Structure 1
Amino acid sequence: MSRGITRSKRNLALNSSYLSENELLDVGFLEMGKNVMIAKTCIITGEGNIRIGNDVRIDENVVISCPIGSITIGNHVHIASGCYLSGSGTIKLDDFSGLAPGARIFSATDDYTGEYLTNRTVPQEFLNVTFAPVHLGKHVIIGSGTVVLPGCNVGEGSSVGALSLVTKALDSWGVFCGIPAKRLKARSRKLLKLERQLLSV
């Protein structure tokens, strides 16, 4: 009996650490589907430029910055704790994609050559910011601590291992890892069968 009570307390603690349905509606997302869980410790700016699908979970201490541009999050997407998404140049996460803890996605970058000033404290006329969209295809998984740079699309079904650096577009259905990320082998497509089973329930 005591175990049952402990489980109930744990479920209550889990649910209380995420925004309620009313709190989610008050955020003001451009679009939001059903069964969305967003931790209360997340920092989200530019919520009016963000679309969120169904069955999405965004865990604690995630930062999503989208004052300009757009971020589109598909269905069955998980963004784990400590991730950072910079949507100024647009980011799209397709269905069943996911980010492991601490993954970073940048769709804009300062000019690092020294020809211009950098950072947000400097007026626009002294900067040379480059914007480029990032698109993670369906079933893409990005490993913990991995960084995806502006303009780098990851093809459907591919996975990128932990602590990698994505500097260019990656093909579909591959397993990638390293700095820069390189293809190691093909990724299994068995998950497509599992997807069909899930969606037929």
Structure 2
Amino acid sequence: MLGVLCGIHREGRIIEAAAAAAGAPAMVRCSGARAANAARGARELVEAGATRLLSFGVAGGLADDARPGDLLTPERVLDLRDGDWAADAEWLAAVRAAWPEGRRDAVLGIDMAATTVGQKAFLGAAFPAAVAVDMESHHLARAAAEAGLPFLCVRAVADDRRSPLPRAAMAGVGPAGDERPHRVLLSLLYRPHEVRALIRLARASGRAFSTLGRVGRAGPCLGVGGA
């Protein structure tokens, strides 16, 4: 049984579609970009009987050369408290055989979104081994290690280190990972200067989701269908 932790429903739907196509079960939890939800979702996947754990979705670029749409298949997941977890070697090898372009650099897990260029620059300097940052992978990696389960992280870069995350974008994510476009519009009423940044983010994240969709269509390599 594959257990998957994502940030938003859009990411989870890719895995659910792959599972439906393979006729195989997959459990998906979404954090809504909230640390407590990510930790709880990871525990729930283990308690519900997942036999392998996948962190799947978008990430924010930290490395200078991380570009929107880059596929990330990291060997390690780090966190801010000296956490360091290795991806399952056999599972990772299968994924890399299918997508050799996947970057091997570590992914850094944090509990609060890095929304400014300054925050990204600080994290990139403090963790030079990390190509990107997300809010779920470290929680799932920790849960996998505690339960003795294989773990894998597959992500795609949605914004580079020189691009801030507009508040309007964060406002559009509900606590269950649901998308709330009306909240985005409401936020823009108070921050109309964010329109340009929001359009740029939409284009960049579109490249990331194109990458995730391509990977998701080959579900068995991700563990969907018993690979």
TM-score class, shorter-chain normalisation, is: under 0.3
Greater C-alpha radius of gyration: 1
Structure that is richer in helix per residue: 2
TM-score, normalised by the number of residues in structure 1: 0.24
Higher strand share: 1
